[in-house]
Amino acid sequence: MEDRAVTMATASSAPCIRHVFLTGSPGVGKTTLIHKAIEQLQQSSLHLRGFYTEEVRAGGRRSGFDVITLSGRRGPLARVGQGRGPAVGQYTVDLASFESLALQELSTKDHGTSTSSILIIDEIGKMELFSQGFIQLVRRHLSQSTCPILGTIPVPKGKPLGLVEEVRSRKDVKVFMVTKENRNSLLPEIVQTVMEARTHIA
């Protein structure tokens, strides 16, 4: 009886997962998994909103990245040596374009009840973190937990990124490490965890 009581107490004190993030090396397949998860979640008649990023190639080489919203809008996130703005390596970030798309998606009110909505954020990375508005909105969604977040964060490299480390250290966040070895088998667990997270939203 005593052992059972200890087990029940441990289970009740376990943190409730409200948000799910994928991490892993660049090019390992995080965004591909996000796309597959979106497809499965949409089959459950859930309302998804947010954005993902996509590589842009020209002449067989990567020339930048675009931000694409789940509502179908698209614009540049960054380009190789183009224009003025914050720089990440060889890329210049188009902050105005990013904010005009991503911030609107993150600011849109949920349709119906909060548990019918899921927010997609792919990704919280160096380029996106030049936007203070983006940082504030992500923090608000994490803390208020009006709907679960399914997103991606980079692996730690160089100087720590404040918001990324906040996400990684939260007790209500489940972080999946995506590798070449497990990327083809992770999808069911990711989707199940997101669905369970919906039940933990206040």
Neighbouring residues of 191: CB distance < 8 A, sequence distance ≥ 6: 37, 40, 41
Of the candidates 140, 148, 115, the residue with the CA atom closest to the CA atom of residue 16: 148
pLDDT of residue 138: 97
pLDDT of residue 175: 98
pLDDT of residue 191: 97
- The residue ranges of every structural domain in the chain are 15-198
Question: Given the DSSP bridges, would you call strands 87-88 and 91-93 parallel, antiparallel or unpaired?
Answer: antiparallel
pLDDT per residue of the chain (202 residues) written in tens, 0 to 9: 445 444 444 444 567 999 999 999 999 999 999 999 999 999 988 899 999 999 999 888 999 999 999 999 999 999 998 778 899 999 999 999 999 999 999 987 654 444 568 999 999 999 999 999 999 999 999 998 789 999 999 998 888 899 999 999 999 999 999 999 999 999 999 999 999 999 888 5
d(CA 25, CA 172): 23
Q: Quickly name the fold that domain 15-198 has.
A: Rossmann fold (3.40.50)
